[in-house]
Amino acid sequence: MIELQTPAQIEEMRPAGRFVAEVLTALAEAADVGVNLLELDALAHRMIKDRGAESCYIDYHPSFGASPFGKVLCTSVNDAVLHGLPHDYKLRDGDLLSVDFACSVDGWVSDSALSVVVGTPRQEDLDLIATTTRALEAGIAAAQPGNKVGDISHAIGNVAREAGLKVNLQFGGHSVGRTMHGDLHISNDGRPGRGFKLQPGLVIAIEPWFMHTTDEIYTDPDGWTLRSADGSRGAHMEHTVAITPDGPLVLTDRSM
């Protein structure tokens, strides 16, 4: 069932969005050459505990996961493009790191992701992050009341096509509320004017993710981490967005 929140409930969701934004900002600042992925997970774990929040990931066990996730972050490095399971790996100069984080504060969930380059960047990685960011911004701009889910998907896909990128349609955005993954799926490409009508009170996670030269993925032996089929790197950007009568409200805005 796709749920709509009242204006009062959307206000109640703001603290979760702010906290998720704070954690991702702290993680982006902490990510450096020599930092272990397990250290990043431990930092997020401490912040969750200090806030009295609840992880959405530790016990998460969907059909595509080999076992309960067991960590509080997804840390995807280089050709690991989604659902990266934190493990004993020290970040190296030039690594492309994507971090995905969702948690519940006072019973409300927010979900967000970002990609950063650790140390000395490759221009193609910076370009990929910039394209993924533009796609997220385009998707948010299309999240207007009265539009359709397909308008968001089409806006994201247009940015990818203009950059010469292929789009994987297996994983994308979703509705958000009391749980992390609601019933509404938001593909990263699609036809405008199609799908569920966007209404005030709908809260969604919009999350474009692209790879340099492929749209094919496979699952790592850890049972969770998704890697590009050809070894190319990936970038992932995500925000939790509420549809309001005045337009989209980004609950996980990190610029505030």
- Binding-site residues for substrate: 83, 181
Q: Which secondary-structure segment (H or E) carries 35?
A: none
Binding residue ranges: 83, 100, 111, 174, 181, 207, 238
Binding residue ranges for a divalent metal cation: 100, 111, 174, 207, 238
Q: Is 14 exposed, middle or buried (0-12, 13-18, 19+ CB in 10 A)?
A: middle
Secondary structure of 199-254 in HEC code, one letter for each residue: CCCCEEEECCEEECCCCCEEECCCCCCEEECCCCCEEECEEEEEEECCEEEECCCC
Question: Letter for the amino acid at 58?
Answer: I
The answer for residues whose C-beta is within 8 angstroms of residue 56's C-beta and 6 or more apart is: 102, 103, 104, 109, 111, 180
Residue 95: both structure tokens together: 């690594």
